[in-house]
Structures are given as C-alpha cells and as structure tokens.
Amino acid sequence: MRIAFLLFPSITQLDLTGPAQVLARLGGDARLDLVWRTIDPVMTDAGFAIVPTATFDTVQSADILCVPGGIEVNAVIADDDAMNWVKQIGADADWVTSVCTGSLILGAAGLLQGYRATSHWAWRDMLPLFGATPVAERVVIDRNRVTGAGVTAGIDFALSLTALIRGETHAQAVQLSLEYDPAPPFDAGTPDRAGEAIVAGFQERMAKLAPGREEELRSLAVRRGFFGA
C-alpha cells in the first residue's frame, strides 16, 4: 500500500506530520512518501524544513493520496505541476483525502465535485467554489473521499481512515500506542466556544498574513474551470 502526501512550501507541518505518524502504522506493506517537485528541503510554516522522499516524477500512482493544508494553498492551486500531480494521483487512488485547507487543493483539482467535505473553519465556506458541499464536522467521509478539519483534526482523520482500512481494533491500538487522549487546557478549539474577541483576533491576523485570499481563490477557481465561482 503506497501513501503519498503532497509536501509544499509553507505547509502547516502538523497537517502532514500528525496523520503521517498515524498512517505510518497501518502495518503490512504500507509505504509512505512525502512528495514535491524536488527532494530539496521544504520550509514549513513552523520555521523548520521537511525533506521530501520522492518527486512528482517518481510517484506516478498511490493507494492513498493525502493533501495537507497551509496558509499558502493558493500558491499550490496556481502551480500547474502540483495540480497536475494531484489530479493524476487522485484519479486512480483508492482513497482521496485531505487535512485542513488541503481540501481546497483537492477541490481545485476537480476531485471533490459532488462530495461532502470539510476544511479549517476559516476556509470551509470556500469549498462550494469547487462543487463540494461544506460540512462542519471534524472528519467527513463520503465514499472514498475522507477530509479532516483544521490542523489537529488530521490525527482524528488518520485514525478514522485507519479504521476503514484495517478495522477499528487496529485503529484503537494505534491510538493507544500514540497515547492520543486529548485533554486540552482550554475549551477554545472552535469559533463557537472561543468567543468573539478571540475569533476576531484570529481573523485580523489572517487578513495580515494572507490579504485578499478569498478574492484570489475565487479567481483561481475560475482559472481551474469552475465558472460558477
């Protein structure tokens, strides 16, 4: 079983490393690759680099495609090489998956039309640009499309996918091995519970980090052939 993660500059590293840690424990003949244009180190949004294990040219197919997210998803959607690879792998993969804003990349590749999907709460309402139905859930399973919400939801997503592939007992054993037993110090993990002031502060920071992100994404949706955007 070959698992291919898209790796790209300014990726949110936990979107990738969280589910990768889980899916690496699928067992059997599972092989996991981190794929980018070259095998040069790729800088993440956390300030450290991750080294790809393969390139677009060397990974031509996969059983599981996983696309993580990050603040620079628009740059990925504008990248023809990256999008062509996602389309190619997703066309024949048994499982087409994403974490966080990676679902927008899947959508722009034409892989979520007519599917229910989720994303980070701050970007989820952009999914209809690509023909997807947004769902405010932590993990959304629609046929062979499995999408996780923001960042930490990648672990829940990967455990859910593990259960689908290997069964719940195997998934529970992986959860135990990772001692995944969340007990956050604050109840502020969703906009509803975080409160207006914290949500407003996040949105203000987002506007500075990615000015015009929604307008740019709408333009990219049209460029990728979604004329109803």
Q: Where in the sequence numbering do the catalytic residues fall?
A: 100
For residue 114, what are the contacts with CB-CB under 8 A and spacing of at least 6? 131, 132
Q: Return the beta strands (E) in the chain as ranges.
A: 2-6, 31-36, 42-43, 49-50, 54-55, 64-67, 95-99, 116-117, 133-134, 139-142, 145-148
Query: Of 100, 138, 90, which is closest to residue 13 (Cα–Cα)?
Result: 100
- Looking only at Cα atoms, what is the longest distance across the chain? 48
**What are the DSSP calls for 91-147, one per residue?**
HH-SEEEEETTHHHHHHHTT--TT-EE---TTTGGGGGGGT-EE--SSEEEETTEEE
Q: Quick one: DSSP state of residue 187?
A: S
Report the Cα 152 to chain-centroid distance in Å. 11
